[in-house]
Structure 1
Amino acid sequence: MSKKDSRRELPPVPEALAASAVDAHTHLDACGAKTAEDVRELLDRAQSAGVGRVVTVADDLDSARWAVQAATWDERVFAAVALHPTRTKDFGPDDKAALEELVTHPRVVAVGETGLDYYWDYSPPEPQQEAFRWHIDLAKRTGKPLMIHDREAHDDILRILDEEGAPETVVFHCFSGDAEFAKACTAKGHVLSFAGTATFRNAKSLRAAAETVPLEQMLVETDAPFLTPHPFRGRPNQPYCVNYTLRDLAELRGMNVDELAVATAATAERVFGLEQG
């Protein structure tokens, strides 16, 4: 098999963790799942690696509707709904009404992913910021956690949260800051979720943040099918690969992997109100 072909292959399923972990942010639809059978297959594979529950996250309205439905197909799946910041250029009343309805579903455990993305130019900063403020208000009105997408927008994210008044629970999905920014976020009580990027050997400032964030404010995620952890960077990602991220971060922090799995699962249960796994 050529190197090019091998990069299209899923990483091997690792040895199962002794404790049941939670993938705090994934995209099951983008992983190729369409049906209940597809979802069960993904979750069965995850469970074989010790990853017992996932939060599947929407980035547009079609994805939001699908995520809510998928969360009813398998008790191991929960949903988060919002409009991704890169899609907010034409965010209108119909979109808001649809999200207002979807977020009330009992299997929806967060408003997300929302926030700011200054890397891509699909949507200018102004409509992104307006949509972000609206999602903050939605999270506060519904009492559900706010799941933030923050790409090259650290200062504006914190400024808008301060201006609007942050919801009780804020999760920085795929945290991308350094140790100083992590400290600023955790000092405000926010929760930081680390993806495969935190295992990349060239991500020294991010790894420094992952090394020091308090356990009770730490989550792990895949953001699958993207951001596959070391040593499989560049290959397709699925929820079971959070096992690799946990192993790497446990070594980084000098602790047992099952301890870290238990701690991050407990944080997920508290933050998202998940049933015990």
Structure 2
Amino acid sequence: MRSESVISPFTVLLLGLLLALTGCAGGIYNKEPALGDRIGTLGVAGSQVFLNGNRAFGGEAIRVGDTVTTGNASSGLIEFADGGLFQLDQDTDPIFLVKRLQSGFCILSRILRGQVFVDKQQFCIDSPALDAINNSRINIRATAQQTGITVLQGNVNVVRPQAARILAGQQYVMNLRGVARMRQLDPAELLETVRWRNNYTFSGWCCKAQQVTPSDREQCGTGQFSFDRALLETQCRPRDPPQFDFGFGLPMHSRPKPAAPPTKQPNYMR
């Protein structure tokens, strides 16, 4: 005769807690983001930053399928929800999509023209001259004729039109005819590649000492920074300790206090 195990309500509660913790540990994306899903938050510097053709403002959500465009003396900076950032120089026009990989998926930026800085693990690039997968910090410069990738840290795997691996300190340029050239840059040349980033200042909100105040991104220091004030306020305020109901929804009755032992009366007749 098969015995049946009985699971107590307390065991059910513990299992539920473990499952919840496991889901959080898997990253912010529980599944592949679909068209329209939020993947990041936008910061703006300058007056000519546009989101899907409309004037953009700091704190707006970036979603799968969105196009960000910059004009003269303007830059956009996207902080991704799962970590990492993407900054556009002036006159740049990427669209953000999702690409499936053998190991899962990656956020993809399709860049037709312009210059961007990317600091993100497993980030996909699609340009007229090449496709690649980034694994760290890079600078990309794309035109209608060629695409150049400079790796400041980590490495990049080029997957089209021919496989190539770009290492830290290297610059790789591919043109539309499929002709590639690679060269090693010295530290001064690497710094010069991303000097354009110093032309822009991004403002948002900083959380310090459980207070949210306006701040430039660089001035936030060790505090927590965000372009989205409402989102930062939910993370900045002190969290209440978790409350657990061990009654499992059943009415709780207070136990009667035990009666105090009778006090011994003095015997004055002794």
TM-score range, shorter chain: under 0.3
TM (normalized to structure 1)? 0.25
Structure (1/2) with the larger strand percentage: 2
Higher relative contact order (CA 8 A, sep 6+): 1
Structure (1/2) with the larger helix percentage: 1
Larger radius of gyration: 2
